[in-house]
Amino acid sequence: MPDTAGAIAAAKAIDALLRGWPIVISDGADRLVLSAVETRISETESASQCDEMLISAARAATLKIINQRAAARPDAPVMIRTMEPLNNVAAMAIADPAQDLANPLKGPFTALPLESETIAEAAMILARQAGLLPAFIIEGEETVTPQAAITASDAKAYGDARMLRIAARARLPVATSETAEIVAFRTMADNKEHVALVVGERDASLPVVRLHSECLTGDMLGSLKCDCGPQLHEALKAMSDAQWGVLLYLRQEGRAIGLINKLRAYELQDQGFDTVEANNRLGFATDARDFMIAVNMLKLLNVDQVRLMTNNPDKVGRLEQGGITVVERVPLITPDNPYNRRYLDTKRDRTGHQL
Ligand SMILES: Nc1nc2c(ncn2[C@@H]2O[C@H](COP(=O)(O)OP(=O)(O)OP(=O)(O)O)[C@@H](O)[C@H]2O)c(=O)[nH]1
Ligand SMILES: [Zn+2]
């Protein structure tokens, strides 16, 4: 059964974090009151200073802070204390790797024992779901009033792909096919409007299917840094050439770290890091996408066998795990250019793309 109460608590917590309000995350005996560094608003002067922060393992490694809790897993978030109280600007410099070159000297810090790894990890999940940098200020219980309360396990209920349903469908003639239908999905677990375009007339043949993750820069602005725009158009053309096909337009911008964090990753790429290193340095997984959303969209469309257009074997594996049979993988190779060559090389060499 989908966890409705958990999803509601998570949605409220994410909303509060985006507004700069403190939240409380609890887990059994432990609780932590925290605000996202990026949006934190301090209502009173006394609340504006802080000396404890929760940061990602990757960020701690970059700042050369060793997790001092012997039992902690190497990728567990790290709690730090600064010598001097910090204001929001100084806290942001600790949180954001983009400022490292301009502002290399930070600290000294002490790593504190992490009372609850589960709470710390829940905070990291909420930051990613909110599209915020995964860095938090620990607030004093007596100085702030939390605006949302959530348990660590509720954080994991957010985005539960099972809560998806078809909300609207309509004919949508497009440039590559006059017989296309758009199907929009709604989920109460997040506020993302995922969409499918069913191209052509459904028949007994296996559909060509493309899972396309949102890329504002590539899809809309013609960015040359990635292959998304050309892949989108190539896929639509392939679907009209075949008898029919289904394009899923998944609202997982930046491999699900959100547009702003993706642009932060671009800033790091301008400094020399590749797409994988940039994600990791920001404190995110290399690929944070949840393909169960795609699985459930296909099931709601009564599509359970596909010819999948992708170069990414991980997409094939994740669809199969969800119960969709990938009868064939159809490569989707688009021309490279001087701006996306390194990105494509990294996909081939580090994330197993067959390019
Ligand atoms: N975080 C991050 N996301 C990126 C970057 N470049 C592109 N993206 C995102 O990556 C996603 C690309 O998704 P897809 O083309 O569906 O997937 P893929 O894993 O490349 O696999 P293919 O099916 O072979 O294209 C989009 O959400 C883009 O916004 C980057 O440098 N950093
Ligand atoms: Zn792109």
Check if 287 is active-site: yes
The model's pLDDT over 173-231, given as tens digits with 9 standing for 90+, comes to 999 999 999 999 998 667 789 999 999 999 999 999 999 999 999 999 999 999 999 99
Give me the percent of the chain exceeding a pLDDT of 90: 75
Mean pLDDT of 69-80: 79
Confirm or deny that 31 is annotated as ligand binding: no
Assess: ipTM above 0.85.
yes
Q: What is the mean pLDDT of the chain?
A: 91
Q: Is the separation of the CB atoms in 130 and 38 below 8 Å?
A: no
Q: What is the pLDDT of residue 189?
A: 67
Mean pLDDT of 340-349: 92
Q: What is the pLDDT of residue 65?
A: 85
Integer Cα distance of 306 and 164 in angstroms: 20
Q: What is the pLDDT of residue 44?
A: 63
With bands split at pLDDT 50, 70 and 90, how would you rate the model's confidence at 3?
confident
Flag whether pLDDT at 161 surpasses 80.
Answer: no
Confirm or deny that 253 is annotated as ligand binding: yes
* The two structure tokens encoding residue 233: 């158009």
Of 287, 307, 329, 350, the active-site residue reads 287
With bands split at pLDDT 50, 70 and 90, how would you rate the model's confidence at 272?
very high
CA of 191 to the centre of ligand 2 (A): 22
Ligand 1 proximal residues by C-beta, below 6 Å: 211-215, 226, 228, 231, 252-255, 257, 262, 265, 275, 279, 310-312, 315, 332, 347, 353
Q: What is the pLDDT of residue 281?
A: 94
Q: What is the pLDDT of residue 202?
A: 92
Mean pLDDT of 314-343: 96
Place of tokens 């990414």: 312
Q: Which ligand lies nearest the alpha carbon of 229?
A: 2
CA dihedral 155, 213, 97, 70 (to 10 degrees): 40
With bands split at pLDDT 50, 70 and 90, how would you rate the model's confidence at 141?
confident
**Burial zone of 231 (CB within 10 Å; 0-12 exposed, 13-18 middle, 19+ buried):** buried
CA of 86 to the centre of ligand 2 (A): 36
Query: Which of 194, 216, 227, 228 to mutate to test ligand 1, by most ligand atoms within 8 A of the CB atom?
Result: 228
* The two structure tokens encoding residue 56: 């990602």
